[in-house]
Structure 1
Amino acid sequence: MDFTLSEQHLAIDESVRRICANFGDDYWTECEEKARFPHEYHRAMADGGWLGITMPEELGGAGLGVTEAAVMMHAATSSGGGYTAASAIHINLFGPHAIVVHGTPEQKARWLGPLIKGDQKACFGVTEPDAGLDTTSIKTFARKVDGGYRITGRKMWTSSAQVADKIVILARTTPKEDCKRPTDGMSLFYTDLDRSKIEVRRIHKMGRNAVDSNAVFIDDIFVPDEDRIGEEGKGFSYILHSLNPERILVAIEAIGLGRDALRRAADYARDRKVFGRPIGQNQGIQHPLAECWANLEAAYWMCMRAGSLYDSGQSCGAEANAAKFLSGRAAFNAATQAVLTHGGMGYAREYQVERLFRESILTRIAPITEQLILSFLAEKVLDLPKSY
């Protein structure tokens, strides 16, 4: 049982931090305030070879596992960019997973190469306004026609659709009522984001404004057969393969954000003097920050355990979900305490902790709620009756 990072992991961490050091607080503040996608950061990560860390080597990727991707994303989010830095490149790590596993050689070469090089950006159209986390109830429908499909429907909370060239679409190809199981009859597509047929409406939100979130309206777009991933009707099973990696990566990204917030709080507490002494000398400041460190540390190693299990082909559903739950709360608490430690200045944009605080709540909500995680753990780990 080894609880240390390998030399490879340390090298990944160091290399990613070297790139991130070129993007300081002023850069992220400017992207946030102007709601501008961090194209320069995205390009730097692509040029460094990091956008293909989990993709096949023969296509220019590194062919590494979720654990290595987790180390990379922790370095990115803990280096000042927060959840914005994660979201700008996050989809490259889990979004194309169905293509890697179920795509044809021609599809992999056509689609993955441009993503790895950073020449194209993609977005993920799964969630719908009337379905939420009940994915089997999506209404977006792909009607079979000669040579392909015509797709119509709506998607919600589609990140980076304002700048994306491609879109992953989960759509029904068989009505739910005609399927033997509710998870049947859905198909997965990866196609051009044709803005003459797809309207992208930006959602104004609390934080992470540099990476857009959108309501997407798909109006009878034609998608050729060669843009369908795998078999018709198997789309839901394909996206299931990416759920545990996504949970692990979101969790480790939250830890990175929380650790950056905690670092900023500790730095401020050492420097800020009130009544002739550093506020960090007071146990009322020390103890909450120390507790944040302990919770972040525990959650971090749950992330790494989940990643290790996944990469070795073992079951990791419970660990991945627990990592997401623990990390989201630990990050939110650390960001909250960072604002409180700064006092009034924690409310000022200059000190960055308010930005991290606004982003931290997202790690508790998406891509799955805490309540569904607890229901999953109660049923799958504690053998309690299914509650929903």
Structure 2
Amino acid sequence: MVDFTFTEEQEMIRESVRDFAQAKITPIALEMEKTKKIPLDVIKGMAELGLLACTADEKYGGAGLDAVTTGIIGEELGRADPTGSIPVFWLVQASWGYLFNKYGTEQAKKEIFPKVCSGEWFLGIATTESDAGSDVNGTRTMIKKVDDGFIVSGEKMYISGVREAHTNGGGHLTIAHQDLEKGTRGMTMFYLPLTDKGITPTYADDMGREGISCGGFSIDDVKIPPHYILGEENKGFYYVHEGYEYARGLIAAICAAAGQKSLENGMDYIKQRKMFGTYLGKFEEVNFRLAEHYTRMHMLKNMAFEALLSIDLEQAGKATRFETAKKIAMAKMFASDWACAAANDVMQWQGAFGYTHECVDNAIYRAVRSFAWAEGAKEIMKMIVARELLGKDFVAYK
């Protein structure tokens, strides 16, 4: 039995994040669907609380938080913002800040983290391309070593935070082939500034989480210095999956919190709304579905924190890489489906109002739907779990 009793310090962090989120985020959340941006005072407030890139070491301006504590923050942001904009803005920097903190060079971390943690710059992840999503090896972007650095050419698409980094400053951790003949063993990971010449952004309109931009960018012979390389050359494929897993754990926690919040909205409604002279909550079709969704959200939260704990245990040498990967995949596998189903039924209970943009559960549905793909599609999660159960001989893509 895993003990998920949080420490006094973790509960204090939860309380401070909840107070901030409920006061500063919830009141303006739906406005972000119209303005298409997160208010600057919210970003600065998050920075002052130490929430941005909170997994970075304190010496770089971060809070040095472990995965479980980071998941607590994700929960509170997931409850507070039905649009999912701020949770995505935050989780990308938390999870990939973790990877950058682990594998980035000292020079790069001193240069980049202070501006990210202060909210001045954005730190993102850019692996997806038009024809390469969960299949990272399918990327066509190339990185070539030259005498005084590296030259990058290619394109990335369906990336969060393109406008934030290109306009305000910052960049994305990126992966490219350095040696095509080596396949996944010839891929290198690096930090790519989106403000450099040779970067041309494009933008896409998402169905949800509209407060943070989505789009892509072309990379036309952009030169980066050697200290922007993460870890060793040609090992980027292995590094990137550590970042994916951290993000997947946070996504599961956020989905559980968002789904739970939607159910609470629904409970308030069905206890007040009457149909045919009786409360809606008395109908078996309604209260049975509530019971099922509530149970799934409870299970999802437990799986999310068990997975995040496994990340912390792995760092301490008390869990294996593959056991962590399995628990993470299990947690994320149905996170989007279950949260979407909960929000969808809450919308149904509210009738025609549930179909309007004024209904916060409508926003929750559209936000958590994106997590069925983000940081690895649910089908990939199933493949990971099956691989760990049956062994690599039963992997279909080999």
Q: Is the contact between residue 37 and residue 211 of structure 2 (CA under 8 Å) also seen in structure 1?
A: yes
Q: How does 1:214-225 map to 2 (within 5 A)?
A: 214-225=215-226
- Give distance in 2, aligned partners of 1:371 and 1:344: 33
The alpha-carbon deviation at position 299 of structure 1 amounts to: 1.0
Aligned residue in 2 for 1:130: 131
Aligned residue type for 2:190: F
Aligned residue type for 2:368: S
Q: How does 1:145-184 map to 2 (within 5 A)?
A: 145-164=146-165, 165=169, 166-174=171-179, 176-177=180-181, 179=182, 182-184=183-185
Cα-to-partner distance string for 1:307-332 (whole Å, 9 max, x where unaligned): 11210111311111000013222211
Of 372, 378, 385, the residue aligned with 2:394 is 385
Greater than 4 Å deviation, 4+ residue runs: none
**1:364 counterpart = 2:369:** no
Cα-to-partner distance string for 1:42-82 (whole Å, 9 max, x where unaligned): 22111111114211122232222111100110111112344
SS at match of 1:218: strand
- Give distance in 2, aligned partners of 1:312 and 1:25: 34
TM-score normalised by the chain length of structure 2: 0.91
CA RMSD of aligned residues (A): 1.8
Identity score, percent: 26
- Give distance in 1, aligned partners of 2:61 and 2:35: 33
The alpha-carbon deviation at position 122 of structure 1 amounts to: 2.0
Aligned residue in 2 for 1:339: 347
Aligned residue in 2 for 1:23: 24
Q: Is the contact between residue 199 and residue 218 of structure 1 (CA under 8 Å) also seen in structure 2?
A: yes
Aligned residue type for 1:133: S
Aligned residue type for 1:351: C
Gapped regions of structure 1 (runs ≥ 5): none
Q: Is the contact between residue 83 and residue 208 of structure 1 (CA under 8 Å) also seen in structure 2?
A: yes
The alpha-carbon deviation at position 373 of structure 1 amounts to: 1.3
- Shift of the 26–2 alpha-carbon distance from structure 1 to 2, 3 Å rule, reads closer
Aligned residue type for 1:364: A
Aligned residue in 2 for 1:6: 7
**1:324 counterpart = 2:364:** no
Aligned residue type for 1:339: M
The alpha-carbon deviation at position 333 of structure 1 amounts to: 1.1
- Give distance in 1, aligned partners of 2:25 and 2:51: 19
Aligned residue type for 1:240: H
Aligned residue in 1 for 2:285: 284
Cα-to-partner distance string for 1:110-158 (whole Å, 9 max, x where unaligned): 1112111212112222111122211112111122223112211010111
SS at match of 2:349: helix
Q: How does 1:117-266 map to 2 (within 5 A)?
A: 117-164=118-165, 165=169, 166-174=171-179, 176-177=180-181, 179=182, 182-194=183-195, 196-266=197-267
- Give distance in 1, aligned partners of 2:157 and 2:377: 16
Q: Is the contact between residue 67 and residue 311 of structure 1 (CA under 8 Å) also seen in structure 2?
A: yes
- Shift of the 9–25 alpha-carbon distance from structure 1 to 2, 3 Å rule, reads closer
- Give distance in 2, aligned partners of 1:194 and 1:300: 38
- Give distance in 2, aligned partners of 1:258 and 1:350: 18
- Shift of the 366–103 alpha-carbon distance from structure 1 to 2, 3 Å rule, reads closer
Cα-to-partner distance string for 1:265-305 (whole Å, 9 max, x where unaligned): 11111122223332122222211111100000011101111
Q: Is the contact between residue 122 and residue 161 of structure 1 (CA under 8 Å) also seen in structure 2?
A: no
TM-score normalised by the chain length of structure 1: 0.94
- Give distance in 2, aligned partners of 1:78 and 1:92: 19
SS at match of 1:96: helix
Number of aligned residue pairs: 384
Q: Is the contact between residue 159 and residue 212 of structure 1 (CA under 8 Å) also seen in structure 2?
A: yes
- Shift of the 97–196 alpha-carbon distance from structure 1 to 2, 3 Å rule, reads same
- Give distance in 2, aligned partners of 1:251 and 1:262: 17
The alpha-carbon deviation at position 24 of structure 1 amounts to: 5.2
Aligned residue type for 1:386: V
- Give distance in 1, aligned partners of 2:151 and 2:107: 22
Q: Is the contact between residue 42 and residue 88 of structure 1 (CA under 8 Å) also seen in structure 2?
A: no
Aligned residue type for 1:214: G
Q: Is the contact between residue 334 and residue 378 of structure 2 (CA under 8 Å) also seen in structure 1?
A: no
- Give distance in 2, aligned partners of 1:24 and 1:310: 29
The alpha-carbon deviation at position 25 of structure 1 amounts to: 4.8
- Give distance in 1, aligned partners of 2:39 and 2:236: 31
SS at match of 1:62: coil
